[in-house]
Copies of this chain bind each other. A is one copy, B any other.
Amino acid sequence: MTDTAAQDELLIARLRERGLRVTAQRLVLHRAIRGMSEHATAEEILTTASPLLPNLSLPTVYSTLELLEELDLVRRAPGIGSGPVLYEPRPEPHGHFACRRCGRVEDLDADVDLGPAVAAAGAARMAPDGAEVVVTGLCAQCAAESAAVSSPTP
């Protein structure tokens, strides 16, 4: 069984469990997202999936992403600021770096024990399902520009 087929089966199983319908839109969008190496916006996901299924619409992308998140197949990445929401394939939660100046969000691998944070949330009657680190500051590009302003290269 191919990897794609296995992913399809997982989606189909989760849909059936809940009595929801298996539609071409859901299959195609799920594949598109699982095929991405990094997070993407709803628009980018639409652009990726559109060639495979013409007439696919942005409202459908949003509603499908909401569904896939409910089914635990997609996550929204945290960010600071007001840009578009970033969605990412489920794989193990990982850290993110968010640039305070340009808003860019990048993945970050860091070995941190987040157990205490999850425990604290549980103690406050929340039902935690994941935890990650968000590091903020200036991204490489913004940091370089900032330095250039303070001390212009001769």
Contact = CB atoms under 8 A, between A and B. Distances in A.
Contacts of A116: 110-112
Contacts of A97: 121, 124, 126, 128
Contact of A135 (B106, B118, B139): B118
Contacts of A77: 80
A60 B143 CA distance: 26
A98 interface: yes
Contact of A76 (B80, B128, B137): B80
A140 to B, nearest CB: 4
Contacts of A112: 112-114, 116-117
A110 B120 contact: yes
Given A76-B80, A108-B120, A128 B132 contact: no
Interface of A: 69, 75-82, 85, 95, 97-100, 106, 108-114, 116-121, 124-140, 142-143, 146
